[in-house]
Structure formats: structure tokens, C-alpha cells
Amino acid sequence: MNKSFILNILLGLFKHILVIDFEFKQPLGNSPMLVCMVVKDIVTQTTKKYWLVGKKKIDFPFPIDESLFVGHYLTAEINCMLQLQLQKPKNLWDTWVENKKLYNGKIKSGYGLEACLSRYGIEYPLDKAKWRDVVLGEKDDLNKMFT
């Protein structure tokens, strides 16, 4: 099946197709402590990046009701959105859920974002372990994320 066929169907249904990712720290039993968010609209190719340390609320850069949200394990992203007092999106495409449905019983592990991307020949664009250590405080300075 042609990728553009599926994309054309989605474009007919949604004004924006947003790939979203948050980085956060979440001590056991507590709400997430947000660090940053990146959201890319694959329709307009617009990318927005937010530093969220200390923020309690933001204005979301796209209309939530007119958008399809794409992400890996979106329950975490939705929880972060709620933390910022944003409305919960109704239109979701969770790559973790979709990969679980496709490969459940066929593989024993490998449902993380990097493994899922690898299965489709997509290279992960950064050193996730390094940045995860920074966000979780296992590196000295959050500002290292941007150097």
C-alpha cells in the first residue's frame, strides 16, 4: 500500500497531524515534572520547541480539536498536556499500541520507540539514553541538552 494513500486519507480528516514528545521527570507517586516539549506538524512542517521547567500552563500552538496526535506511548504525553492545563486530545495514533497489535506474540520484547523505529528502518535522531540521563538528573546540568 502506498504511504501517500494513507496520508491523503488522514489529511482529509485532520487539519494538522502532530508528532509530539515530552521529556519529564516523574518521581514515584507524583505528577510529572516537565522539562521540554517538541511538536511537529507534518502537514505544514512546522516544529515548535518549548522549555517547560517551572511552567504550569502554555498556549498550545495548534488547534487540539482539529489535530491528529501521533506519538509513542501517548498516555505519557497526554498526562503532560493535562499538567499544562491543556485539553485532552481526542484523536490519537499511538505507535506503541499499533506495534503491540502488530507484533504481540511474535516478538518477546522491543516495543520501545527506538526498537519500533529500527523495525521500519528509521534511524533514531539522537542519543536517547544520554538525554534521558540529563532529564532524570543523572547528568549535572539540564542545559547540556542544548549544547
Write down all domains in the chain, each with its CATH number in brackets: 3-146 (3.30.420)
Is-contact 86 65, C-beta < 8 A? no
Q: Please tell me the pTM assigned to this model.
A: 0.80
The cell numbers describing 22, all together, are 515530552
Q: Is the pLDDT of residue 146 over 70?
A: no
Per-residue pLDDT of 64-90, as tens digits, reads: 999 999 989 999 999 999 999 999 999
The 3-state DSSP class for residue 49 equals strand
What type of residue sits at position 21?
A: D
Degrees (nearest 5) of the Cα angle 128, 6, 8?
A: 110
Is-contact 70 19, C-beta < 8 A? yes
CA distance 128 to 84: 24
Confidence band, pLDDT 50/70/90 cuts, at residue 52: very high
Q: Considering only CA atoms, which of 68, 73, 79 is closest in space to residue 100?
A: 73
CA distance 20 to 41: 9
pLDDT number for residue 131: 67
Q: Is the pLDDT of residue 132 over 90?
A: no
CA distance 56 to 125: 29
